[in-house]
Every structure is written in structure tokens, then in C-alpha cells.
Amino acid sequence: MTKKKIAIQDTYGERFRHCWGCGSDNESGLHLKSYPSEDGASCVAEIIPDAKYTGGVPQNLFGGMIAMLFDCHGTASAAYFKHKDKGLDLTEDTVIGRFITARLEINFKKPTPMAETVRIIAKPLEIGDRKVIVDMKMYAKEELRAEAKMVAVAVKDNM
């Protein structure tokens, strides 16, 4: 029996579903979805960017969009890695803890072409009490286009 894939963003609590990049309740948003790998060692997001997101170099994705994709995928991945670190499974009934970006460093390696699947793979580097450090790589046409390192922190209840 095949296990149903659950998008991490679909397990966000009601008040955290409004992000333009990944919020399921944002009608005009992208609705980026991040999924844990089969073994839970990484998380993957894929998107084919719309032509309107081209940058200063025609037919290539602009850097701000690349940063947003890393931001949304990285915080979702951090939430999953912390959830898993607590020994919990991701289910349809999960309301996962929410993480936000404290720091995001991006190295742009090659232009990211439009009209191609962009794949982002995230892996945990460190998992602490409230902080998760995530390593991410972005590919298009099977080539590394950018990489990022994120420090994500858990949202406090009073935020």
C-alpha cells in the first residue's frame, strides 16, 4: 500500500496559512508545497515558475523569487525536521509547529531557466530546541542553480 504524500504546508495551523508563497488559504498565492522524502532525511518542493517571474535577464527566474522559494521551502522543512526529531509522524491530522526565517544565505550558481521544473531539496544540518539550520539546493534541468543555508526559529505562542 502506497503511503499518501502530505504537504507540510497543509499541516499549518489556521493562522499560518496566509503566506503568499506557500499559504493554502492565500487565493492569489503560489501555493508552494513541500514534501518529506520517503526516508524523512530530506524535503522536496517542485514548481514550474510562471513567465511573469522572469528577471532582468529574460527567460531566467529573478533572484527575489528564488529567495522566496528557499524561504517558504526552508521554513516548512525546518518544521518537519523538528517534528520528526520529536519522534512524531506527519499525518493528515498533524498541526505542525511553525517556523520563520532568522537568516537566509543564498549562493547563486547559474541562471535558473523559465518553463522548467525547479526542484529544491532541503536537509537538516542542526536541530536545536527552537532553531533548525537547513541546507538547500535548487536544481533545474538536473543542474545546480542555487544553494542556500537557513537558520529557522520556532514561532512563539505569543507571536
CA dihedral 73, 103, 40, 142 (to 10 degrees): 60
Is pTM, for the whole model, over 0.85? yes
Residue-wise pLDDT for 104-126, tens only, equals 999 999 999 999 999 999 999 99
| Neighbour count for residue 101 (Cβ, 10 Å) | 17
Q: What is the DSSP string of 79-123?
A: HHHHHHHTTPPP-TT--PPPEEEEEEEEEE-S--BSSS-EEEEEE
For the segment 143-158, the average pLDDT, to the nearest whole number, is 92
